[in-house]
Structure 1
């Protein structure tokens, strides 16, 4: 286990688990947590043996958002803090080869919710909730939250949630596509890790290319997406993974993928 003061990381086979570790503050993001979380994601993104990453949290909440007791550095604007300290982590979640699963044991609020929504998949406790309380303190959502909320909820429902500083329970989050699975409280991390282990047995090249295709499709035309799919399919078809999958199918056995 790699243990930092605000983040814990463990590796089990092809799965890395990164847990926010400020439970007394409901894992509010301070400067130290941002730096350590970036270091962990940078490390695992460069590890070819890691195929799936679980982003979880210790304690009863996923994250209450930014730690409002700690403002920007002297001479640093909030804009620069968001772009320079949160931005690199969120971009890694989006662009890294590995699938990232959020494990949400309790409330996710503010930029904590932005992180959870930006993961590829998510498991949420059935008694948890998502809170968008920015306007309660005269602020707006950040961390790309408006981008994700618009695409999941549509304009009017997203604006209502933001304008009212609203809260959604876990069942609503699942129904609206803000999370992908629910689990009993106390079983969220184990459920996410079991899902990660199952996905890690699938062809990593195919999962990597599917992630890239979907992340890019929203800003591309149909023709651009079709061309990108064809290029990715060509790469997948020529891979050792595809040869192994076909051989395993013919031999009626489970494939073993090397990710090449």
Structure 2
């Protein structure tokens, strides 16, 4: 594992793990960390050797959201950077997660608040440690949601619950998160990293071209009519039917063997 100050990156079995690495500050987001994370996500998307991505945090927190100490310090110095961070950092980071042409797993190892929670919501799958918590803290500091949370959260748990969590700024523990559909499963704290790696490795060994199309079709369907969704499905099936992975899957089914997907 190579250290890049505030961000750790490791590759294994086609999986790239990106770990936020400011544990003493609960992995809160400074300008440096946001820029490193955006660059790392962009690089992972372009690297054909990376077939799945895990996003997690070092220490007891996944990500506590914006580093308010840096934020306040810059505001007091009349630095306009905090007013640009949504457009320059948060929006591109969420777009990089959502548009990643391979599965993204958020391994939530502790507190996930504000933009940090929103990053998890943008992932394709969320697995959480038993000690994890989720908090939409924007209203508590006199702000509205950002980092795509207004779009992603209500699609995961519905408008009513999303509004409740955002307006009340109420903490959700792992058990409630599982019950309301915010996460896929709860894992013992000391097993989370290994479990996320195994799950991501399973994705990495799968038909990654199909995974990318599935993500595209789901995103299209979330904001389209039925006819538009049907057209998107038709186009995706036409493209995927011509892939080597589809041919391999059919051949493997007939031969009663395990398919060997190449992501082509």
Note the residue ranges of structure 1 that are not aligned, 5 or more in a row.
none
Q: Give distance in 1, aligned partners of 2:2 and 2:67.
A: 24
Report the more deviating stretch, 202-211 or 147-156: 147-156
Q: Give distance in 1, aligned partners of 2:239 and 2:158.
A: 35
Q: Give distance in 2, aligned partners of 1:13 and 1:164.
A: 42
Deviation at 1:141, TM superposition (A): 2.0
Indicate conservation of the 8 Å contact 1:8/1:21, yes or no. yes
1:238 aligns with 2:242: yes
**Matched residue, 2:59:** 59
The CA RMSD measured in Å over matched residues stands at 1.5
Structure having the higher helix fraction is: 2
**Matched residue, 2:255:** 251
Indicate conservation of the 8 Å contact 1:9/1:17, yes or no. yes
**Matched residue, 1:215:** 219
Report the more deviating stretch, 66-75 or 78-87: 66-75
Deviation at 1:132, TM superposition (A): 1.7
Q: Give distance in 2, aligned partners of 1:186 and 1:144.
A: 30
Please show how residues 1-260 of structure 1 align to structure 2 within 5 Å: 1-71=1-71, 72=74, 74-76=78-80, 78-260=82-264
Indicate conservation of the 8 Å contact 1:28/1:67, yes or no. yes
Q: Give distance in 2, aligned partners of 1:46 and 1:233.
A: 23
Q: Give distance in 2, aligned partners of 1:153 and 1:234.
A: 32
Note the residue ranges of structure 2 that are not aligned, 5 or more in a row.
none
Q: Give distance in 2, aligned partners of 1:112 and 1:130.
A: 9
Aligned pair count reads 260
Give the alignment's TM-score, normalised by structure 1: 0.95
